[in-house]
Structure 1
Amino acid sequence: MSTNVTPPPMPNQPPGPSKRNHTNAYIIGGAGIIAAAVILATGMAISSDGDDTARPQPTVTVTETVEPEVAVEEDATAETDHNTDTKVGEEARNGGAVVKVTKVVETDAITFAGAHKSAGPDAKYVIINTVVSNDGEASMDLTCSLPIVNALIDDQDRHFDTIEDLYDVAGNPECNVQLQPGFDDKMQFVYRVPKDAVVTTWEFSEYDLENEVTPTLVDLT
């Protein structure tokens, strides 16, 4: 007896991909590539704009030129320069005292208290001949009370005082002879200085106990 065996059915194979599916895959894949490129470009742009310090900066060298200071030479005679107010032959004023230096005399001896007085081997006398006018409100004793403070100045800026007892110099007013306001009189201011002294200036000021007075300067050169 024969038996008919029916073979089992073959499994169904899945249908192959259609052309539409391939097209969609191409579209999706292309879109992904484009999107990735856009994201990459955007990221690079953001990184470039937001991190400026990462880029190397140019180096600028500034050279400063300093001008050398010009040395100022000091005048060796600066200490002896005086801004004089007047010259010999001109009237000079200080307070109520008006003085005109008429002559400057250098001599080895003077007539003092009626006798000949020598300055000595290493000295000389300098006589400042003046006319003093009293333009103040009180009388002046020119030889005893010293109403006019004065000094003789040389080219080394040394200040010399007058000799004592000017009333004993021949030709000067006597002691306690008062020069009244509105009058004038001749007066000699005598100084004993070193033989080689070069006098340049005479200064004077009206005597004032209460106030500091700036002296008036007379050029003797």
Structure 2
Amino acid sequence: MKKSRTNAYIIGSAAIAIVAIVTAGVITANSDSSNEATPSPTVTVTVTETAAAEQDAKPTEQEAGFKTGDEARNGGAVVKITKVTTSGTVTLAGAQKKAGADAKYVTVKTVVTNETKSSMDLTCSLPINNALIDDQGRRFDTIEDIYDVAGNPECNAQLQPGFKDEMLWVYRVPKDAKVASWEFSEFNLDSERTPTLIDLT
């Protein structure tokens, strides 16, 4: 009878041990399964690319260039070239003046519109800086006493804001000079303006 009880105790202990092992295996399996089912957190990195500024920006009005017949602007001065002529003489104060054997006069006929806030004295104060440029890059100034050129505004004839007037810019250049362009800029004591270029070719 004692032997039967001992065997029962041994069988019961073995059963308990087996249950414990099985339970531990289930817990471990569940733990592994849980780890597999729960994904690791994913870190998303957003990279924003900023486009580099374009090197070739749109040209400004001064850089773009103009041709005869276009209305070109510089500050508040608006100039349209209507005609370019070449001659051996020019009429000054009612008299003919010769350019000389090795020279010629180039006349740039324009219409100037004053869109500034004050008047312009086109022939004496010269509110518009200008130059005639040939194909060699040489720059020529207007002749003296340009107010004496036939057809030009008189000295101290103030072109008021919002009005326009014809203006002849006359240059004495070498006879073989090939005119390429004309540039101008509104005269400004406070700042130097980039000249506006007009193609004459």
Q: CA deviation at 1:83?
A: 5.7
Gaps of 5+ in 1: 1-81
Contact 1:111 1:117 in 2 (8 A): yes
Q: Which amino acid aligns with 1:151?
A: A
Q: How much has 1:84 moved relative to structure 2? A: 5.4
Alignment partner, residue 179 of structure 1: 159
Q: Which residue of 2 aligns with 1:87?
A: 67
- 1:165 correspondence with 2:148: no
Q: Is the 8 A contact 1:110 1:118 kept in 2?
A: yes
Could you say which residue in structure 1 is the equivalent of 2:128? Answer: 148
What SS does the aligned partner of 1:167 have?
helix
In 1: Cα distance, 2:121 partner to 2:63 partner = 29
| Structure 1 residue 191, shift from structure 2 partner | 0.1
Displacement of 1:159 in angstroms is: 0.3
Tell me the amino acid that sits aligned with residue 116 of structure 2. Answer: G
Instruction: Extract unaligned runs of 5+ from structure 2.
Output: 1-61
How far 1:94 sits from its partner (Å)? 0.2
2:147 is paired with a residue of what secondary structure? helix
The partner residue of 1:119 within 85, 99, 115 is 99
Summarize deviations over 1:79-135 as a string: whole Å, max 9, x none: xxx965110001000000000000000000011111010000000000000000001
> Against the structure 1 CA distance between its residues 158 and 84, is the aligned structure 2 distance closer, same or farther, given a 3 Å change threshold?
farther
Shift >3 Å, 4+ stretches: none
Work out the CA distance in 1 between the residues paired with 2:198 and 2:116. Answer: 20
Give the equivalent residue in structure 2 for 1:136: 116
Per the TM alignment, residue 212 of structure 1 is displaced from its structure 2 partner at its CA by 1.4
- The residue that corresponds to 1:193 in the other structure is 173
Cα separation, 2, equivalents of 1:210 and 1:180: 21
Aligned partners of 1:209, 1:105: CA distance in 2, in Å? 32
3-state SS of paired residue (1:190):
strand
Aligned-residue RMSD, C-alpha: 1.2
**SS state of the match for residue 73, structure 2?**
strand
TM-score, normalising length from structure 2? 0.68
Give 1:209 shift. 1.3
User: Is 1:84–1:218's contact at 8 Å kept on the other side of the alignment?
Assistant: no
| In 2, Cα distance between equivalents of 1:203 and 1:175 | 23
Matched letter for residue 218 of structure 1: I
Alignment of 1:12-31 (within 5 A): none
Q: Are the equivalent residues in 1 in contact too, given 2:63–2:196 (CA < 8 A)?
A: no
Q: Could you tell me how far apart the structure 2 residues matched to 1:99 and 1:139 are? A: 15
Tell me the secondary structure at the aligned position of residue 137 of structure 1: coil
How many residue pairs are counted as aligned between the two chains? 140
How do 1:68-87 and structure 2 match up within 5 A? Answer: 85-87=65-67
Question: Share of identical aligned residues, percent?
Answer: 69
